Amino acid sequence: MRILLDRQSDASLYQQIYTHFRQGILSGSLPPDTRLPSTRQLARDLGVNRITVETAYGDLEAEGLVASKIGSGTYVLPPSPQLLIPVDEPDGPWPLWQRDLQAQGDLPGKNHLEEAAKSGSHPNPIAFAGGIGDPRLFPVDDYRKVIQAVLRRDGMAALEYGERNGYAPLRATIAHVLASQGITVRPENILVTAGSQQALTLVCQLLLKPGDTILVETPTYAGALDLFRLFHLKIVGIPVDGHGMQVEKLEKILQHQHPKLLYTIPNFHNPTGTCLSTPRRRQLLALADRYNVPILEDDFVGDLRYDGRTQPALKSLDPGGRVIYTSTFSKMLMPGLRVGFLAVEGPVYEGLVNTKRIVDLATSSLHQRAIESYVTVGSYQAHLRRTCQVYRRRRDGMVLAIHRHLPGEVQVDPPQGGLFMWLRLPDSLSTQKLQPLAVEEGVTFTPGHSFFPYSPDGEAYLRLNFAMQPPEAIEEGMRRLGKAIRKAAALPQDHSR
Ligand code: PMP
């Protein structure tokens, strides 16, 4: 073990050793049950007398921070809460550059969605705030078997960086899956990424610079808004209705704002659940082409359709190089795999591959191989079918529960797929008013303002994830939400909207 001892210091060597361990224990970096090095070993490592170390350990023990077990060693005890050093507290002031950062407000803010998911002190909270499917449906056993089989089959190769643009058989498999959805791309035009969040990031890094204008649907995916803010982009919104982005409002904006990119979620839009109609898809593509604006199509849950007719992906209408398409295995399979992909043709492809290489070298070779196996043997397709059946029932259950438990003035337009239901509250209500009451009742949702580029828009809306909870929890959750809405409506009038 290395401890930096200052032999010129006024503090004695034993005090320095004592202070080092005390700090570690109270800051949590040495958690309870950690075994300290033996006195003999530490004395040898530090070049000090063994008694020096024994004295330091003795003081720690006297303070109740460690206990020695005869014949076993010295172990960290759980420190009393009053002594704990807050994680964020330095010994002195933060260095000037850190204080400047804080003062300039240049640090990315907290995640709205994680904040919304906090459920207060209710003993049995029901969460509808997350952005993923139900982890109870993750095919953990099947995936474990696939990982083992891949390691047996590929050995070391499965743990190398692998090809920069992704594992070739996985790219071929993705191209095959896309072909079944009417999207014709060659494996050479697919780039495997660390989830579609990285796909969005790479496109921003390559195509945009601070101050550039990006067009988005309003509302839109909060994680994309956070990313665009991080890149200091000017975010311009195009409103969404029951048929997706209101493309008829687009031309004027294209003329006046000269955007560098248009980001869209045409299928089961996050957060509204709507799908862009086919005529609007064609119109959007024609306009983007006329005004020379690349489209970034985020198809994050395209495969989770429960009813209705599939519309053509923008990418499938693209004669080549106009649409940068991204999708992910996060929602249809598991988010922790961190595997998604981009599909695009033209010189931009090579640019994206090289940006990815510079940013993180490669996406996990092992997971890429495992997913390829999983898809190829048909397990993925079977999992998807099962998942769609379960989520369809949950969506239907939530619609019924909403009608049963929520006031009639709450508006909802059930989606044909995906994960989310978008609710509009009665006119006198805002989510600001509703949220603390809902948390008190033991139910969480994502407030609408998280999905708008500029607050206080969206206060009238909330997003519910209908896929996350089993039917009984959906029923009980909507009962609690209904109660919270009635309580909020009984409060004095809210003029904040
Ligand atoms: N796009 C949308 C619309 C999303 O909702 C999310 C995650 N919630 C992502 C992209 C990113 O997902 P991932 O990086 O896990 O693929």
Give the pLDDT score at 457.
81
Give the pLDDT score at 350.
97
Choosing from 111, 113, 192, 196 the residue with most ligand 1 atoms within 8 A of its CB, the one to mutate for a pocket test is 196
For residue 221, give the ligand 1 atom closest to its CA.
Answer: 3
For residue 328, give the ligand 1 atom closest to its CA.
Answer: 16
Identify which of 446, 438, 423, 415 has the alpha carbon closest to the alpha carbon of residue 120: 438
CA distance 221 to 493: 30
With a cut of 70, say whether residue 112 has pLDDT above it. Answer: no
The mean per-residue pLDDT over the stretch 191-219 comes to 98
Alpha carbon of 196 to ligand 1 centroid (Å): 6
Return the bridge partners of 241, or none: 244
Alpha carbon of 113 to ligand 1 centroid (Å): 12
Q: Which of 70-74, 249-253, 265-269, 363-367 has the lowest mean pLDDT?
A: 70-74
With a cut of 70, say whether residue 113 has pLDDT above it. Answer: no
Dump the DSSP string for 1-47. Answer: ------TTSSS-HHHHHHHHHHHHHHHTSS-TTPBPPPHHHHHHHHT
Q: What is the pTM of this model?
A: 0.89
Give the pLDDT score at 91.
67
pLDDT tens-digit map of 456-497: 789 999 999 999 999 999 999 999 999 999 999 998 775 545
Give the chain's mean pLDDT: 93
CB 386 within 8 A of CB 137: yes
pLDDT tens-digit map of 5-19: 999 999 999 999 999
| DSSP-derived secondary structure letter, 337 | G
Burial class (CB in 10 A: 0-12, 13-18, 19+), 347: exposed
Return the bridge partners of 234, or none: 213
Grouping H, G, I as helix, E, B as strand and the rest as coil, residue 372 is helix
Give the pLDDT score at 103.
86
| Percent of the chain residues past pLDDT 70, beyond the cut | 96
Q: Which residues line ligand 1 (CB under 6 A)?
A: 131, 195-197, 221, 223, 265, 270, 298, 300, 328, 330, 335, 340
Dump the DSSP string for 427-469. Answer: TT--HHHHHHHHHHHTEE-EEGGGGSSSTTTTTTEEEEESSSS
Give the pLDDT score at 175.
97
Q: Which residue, by CA, sits nearest to atom 13 of ligand 1? A: 195
CA distance 435 to 444: 8
Helix, strand, coil percentages for the chain (3-state, nearest 5): 45, 15, 40
Give the pLDDT score at 427.
85
Tokens read off for 277 = 């109609």
CA 28 to chain centre: 27
For residue 298, give the ligand 1 atom closest to its CA.
Answer: 1
CA distance 295 to 313: 12
CA distance 189 to 343: 6
The mean per-residue pLDDT over the stretch 272-280 comes to 97
CA 143 to chain centre: 21
Give the pLDDT score at 108.
84
For residue 335, give the ligand 1 atom closest to its CA.
Answer: 15
Give the pLDDT score at 479.
98
* Secondary element (H or E) of residue 191: strand 190-193
CA distance 143 to 137: 12
Q: Which residues contact 302 (CB under 8 A, 6 or more apart)?
A: 181, 267, 268, 313, 327
Phi, psi of 71 (to 5 degrees): 80, -5
Give the residue carrying structure tokens 């401890």: 3
Grouping H, G, I as helix, E, B as strand and the rest as coil, residue 230 is helix
Give the residue carrying structure tokens 């009635």: 486
CA distance 459 to 275: 23
**N-term to C-term CA, the chain:** 60
* Amino acid in the structure at residue 16: Q
Q: Is the peptide bond before 271 cis (omega within 30 degrees of 0)?
A: yes
Alpha carbon of 52 to ligand 1 centroid (Å): 55
Angle at the Cα of 268 from the Cα atoms of 265 and 270, rounded to 5 degrees: 60
89: pLDDT confidence band, cut at 50, 70 and 90?
Answer: low
